[in-house]
Amino acid sequence: MARVLSLLGAENVEQKANEILHLEQRLANITVSEYDDLRRDINSMYNKVTLGELQRITPNLKWKRLLDRIFHENFSEDEEVVLLATDYMQRLQHMMVMIGYPDFLLNPEAIDKEYEASIKFLKKAECIVNLYDNFTVYNQRVNGKHTLGENIADMGGLKLAYYNWCIKRRSQSIYLQVLTDKHAPEHYRVLGSVSQFEEFGRVFHCPKNSPMNPTHKCSVW
């Protein structure tokens, strides 16, 4: 970690590495296995809240300032966001109050100065913004900035699906994953998803009731 921080141009490398490690250890302690069943509960995992409600759940984290800075917007407190794992956020807030956190994590100027990676990310993100800004639907330009988060997720998901399909692993590693990992093995993450997608079977002419085009398909959304 210290070497990575050094390459990123951070000052007081050893101190910063120890502070980050200390924080990560505390974060790990609030994601223990006793909460696995709760995290599998969709109702407890995904909650639509306003920015104001999110601020009240974790008042020590300045959400509006953070999101305004990331998206170059001026969000209102009525802006809706999807909160992942409310119980985790509440425990995170409690942890922040009890043990504190490295001050530099809440100092945007210090982060910009010490970690050039964030600037590089913003430049790469700007490329995606410009790409989607040039798409039009019914003579209306797509808002690349507004759709940035989902566009990054789409592009990353496509790459992930490709790498998951092409990846080669030892049989022992796959067996261990089946026993312990919350994710299905890579091939089945792809096959399981596309086989339930009606359009996939139609476009690729998969026979009805074949493994890739079953008659009964699962759908949540």
pLDDT tens digits, 21-55: 777 776 666 554 445 555 555 555 567 888 898 88
Angle between helices 186-194 and 148-166 (to 10 degrees): 120
Q: With contact defined as beta carbons under 8 Å apart, do 25 and 17 qualify?
A: no
User: Rounded CA gap, 148 and 63, in Å?
Assistant: 18
Other CB atoms closer than 10 Å to residue 165's CB: what's the count? Answer: 12
Range among 92-96, 103-107, 130-134 rated most confident: 130-134
User: Rounded CA gap, 14 and 9, in Å?
Assistant: 13
Other CB atoms closer than 10 Å to residue 95's CB: what's the count? Answer: 17
Coil vs helix vs strand at 141: strand
The owner of tokens 């566009």 is: 151
Domain ranges (residues) in the chain: 2-114
pLDDT tens digits, 191-220: 898 999 999 999 999 999 999 999 999 988
Residue 98: pLDDT over 60: no
Nearest residue to 216 (alpha-carbon basis) of 195, 202, 199, 200: 195
